[in-house]
Structure 1
Amino acid sequence: MRGSQTMETCPDIFELSDGNFAVMGTDATQDLDALLPPGVTRADGERIVVITRETLLRAKRDIPDA
């Protein structure tokens, strides 16, 4: 259980066995795609995912510095 006090689904960040990280959040691609800053692009296979500030701050302590 990573932050969910109700056992419901919720945003999360977790490390994969290959050292990469996966993010579960709300898909906001349709709403935010046109609002990307100048010079920022998104590949066809990428999605814009929103997670809460609390989710990222809780994950911070588990993300290695190097």
Structure 2
Amino acid sequence: MKIIRRLGVAPRFRGSVNGGTCPDVFELANGDFAVIGTDMTDTLEAELPSDAARADYERIVVVSRETLVKAKADIPDV
């Protein structure tokens, strides 16, 4: 796997000056996306709708609204 580009702006442009809060979204060479966020699996798993589930190797990751809003223009339609 290879990261080909960031979607949105770098964390420093969203107020992260010390690297402590750095949610980010990246497009991968195969067209998938990678997300850096806060692992909230233990908190949110019980809140999943009945038709949603996660595999043992998957985590529920939260990114800030601002991160996704800033990335929106860079997310392809197809």
TM bucket, shorter chain:
0.7 to 0.9
Match of 1:3 among 11, 31, 34: 11
1:27 to 11, 16, 39: 39
Q: How far is 1:3 from its partner?
A: 3.3
Instruction: For 1:28 and 1:19, locate their aligned partners in 2 and report how far apart those are by CA, in whole Å.
Output: 25
In 1, Cα distance between the equivalents of 2:26 and 2:44? 24
Unaligned 5+ segments in structure 2 are 1-8
The percentage of aligned residue pairs carrying the same residue is 56
Off by >6 Å, runs of 4+ in structure 1: none
What is the one-letter code of the residue matched to 1:56?
L
Opposite residue 51 of structure 2, the aligned amino acid is: G
The alignment's TM-score, normalised by the length of structure 1, stands at: 0.88
Q: What corresponds to 1:62 in structure 2?
A: 74
- Is there any run of 5+ residues in structure 1 with no aligned partner, and where? none
When residues 7 and 18 of structure 1 are mapped into structure 2, their CA distance, relative to the original with a 3 A threshold, is farther
The two structures, once aligned, show a CA RMSD in angstroms of: 1.5
Structure 1 CA distance, aligned partners of 2:75 and 2:24?
13
Q: CA deviation at 1:7?
A: 5.5
1:12 matches 2:20: no
